[in-house]
Each structure stands twice: as structure tokens, then as C-alpha cells.
Amino acid sequence: MNLVLDVGNTSTKLALFAKNTIIEFIVINNFSIPYLREYIENRQDIKYLYYSNTSLSRKDIGNLCEELDVKYSDINHTSKLPIKISYSTPETLGSDRIALACGAAQQYSGNNLIIDFGTCITYDLVLGNEYIGGQISPGLDMRLNALNYYTENLPKIVFKTPNVYIGNSTSNSILVGVYEGIIFEVNGIIEKYKLRYPNINIITTGGAAKIFNKKIKNINFFDSHLLMHGINYIIATNEQL
């Protein structure tokens, strides 16, 4: 069995694989090393643990895996990958973006633009088996929080899809502005890439993707587990499974 983790800024996603099939998927809001210990100890057949990490100590995971005799690795530009990374600063490339690119290259033939609606909105271009680069912009919650943090009078609000065409209150104005701002941004960026690569696949993923998918044009695939599959493909590449 392969265990893959996406340790994010707001939650951790855990997927247990039997070869290329996810047999268990969990989203954890309060992930911890004791939780991970209990999970592994309850499943004696886990051989490999690879992870995309933004917030958890590599040393803590390493110590646990060595104690439990599980082979482990984080994901970075020095990992053995099933794709080529063509990026001027590969050491700064996020492990999540690497995993998404690997997942797309393995599962969707041709050229791919991956749009991940997470804490940030990332756009990653993969031409065949070569990662080229992309774009990063603030995500949904980051935009809402920034409007409150950097102003005196704008409130901090929880997102809900606006039901008005024009904001008729400050809260509605924020909701319409942020919601439509993301929609116009994403559609415009897709158009930009479509002009250069007319047959490119548009793949969306990430926690907020379902909020926007119906408003985004030219989506070919929605893949909520793309990152997890990408990490699993990296395990197969490194361990020759």
C-alpha cells in the first residue's frame, strides 16, 4: 500500500492507494504526528509514504516513518519524477505544483493547463511530459481576508455565492467583486493559453473548484484527486512499482 499526504495551509488530505486505485480518502482539519502514527499502526501493509508539504516538519515525519519501518520522502525538484521540469528556479517550485503536473502528464495525454483553486489559484502548464511554468494569484479566502486586513472599514465575511448582479450592500459588493473577479481572471487566462495552444486540456482541481466550475469556459476535466494521483505516480517512479 502507498500512503500519500497533501499537507496544506488549511487542511491535510490523505489517500491510501492499492497500486493506482484510491481505497481511502480523508480530509483532516487538525492533522498531527500522533494521528499519522495511529493511522499507520492500524494498517500494517503500508510500505511507502510520500507527501507534499507546506506546514509540517519533515524531521517529525521522518522520525515516525523510520520507527515504523515505512519508506518515506517529500516531493521537491530533486525527486525522481516522471516529467521534465523546465523552470528557471526549480528549488522554489512548490511540491503541490510538481505533483499536479505529474498527475496531469500521466492521466491526460497532450498538453495540459492545470488550474488549482486552493489557498492560492495556481496555473501550471505541462506540454507533454515537460513542466513549463505558469502563474499564481490569491485564492478565494485570501482575497476576502485581504480586503478586511488592509482596510479600516471593510468587514471580514464568509464566502457564499452572491445572488445579486450588482452589490447592494458592502458585504454583497465584496462577494460580487471577489466572485466575479476570479471568474473573469480564470476565463481570461484560459483564453490566453488557448490562443497559443488551441488543443490544450483545461483541468480544474482544488477545494474551491466546484464553486467556479459552472462559470469557467472550456473546462475539459475536473479532477479532485489529481494531486494525490500525482504523488502516487512519483512513488511508482522512485520505487519502480
Per-residue confidence at 140, pLDDT binned at 50, 70, 90?
A: very high
Active site residue 96: yes
Instruction: Give CA–CA dist 235/66, Å, rounded.
Output: 17
Answer for the pair 234, 81: CB distance below 8 angstroms, yes or no: yes
Kindly state the average pLDDT of the residues 25-30: 90
Q: Which of 6, 45, 69, 96 is catalytic?
A: 96
* CA 202 vs CA 75, 152, 177: distances in Å: 24, 39, 24
Is pLDDT at 74 greater than 90 in this prediction?
no
Instruction: Give CA–CA dist 153/170, Å, rounded.
Output: 10
Output the pLDDT for position 56: 66
Q: Domain coordinates of the chain in residue numbers?
A: 2-74, 88-223
The reply to whether 88-223 shares the fold of 2-74 is: yes
Fold of 88-223: Nucleotidyltransferase; domain 5 (3.30.420)
Per-residue confidence at 11, pLDDT binned at 50, 70, 90?
A: confident
Output the pLDDT for position 55: 62
Percent of the chain's residues with pLDDT above 70 = 98
pLDDT, one tens digit per residue, over 144-202 is: 999 999 999 999 999 999 999 999 999 999 999 999 999 999 999 999 999 999 999 99
Fold of 2-74: Nucleotidyltransferase; domain 5 (3.30.420)
Kindly state the average pLDDT of the residues 226-241: 89
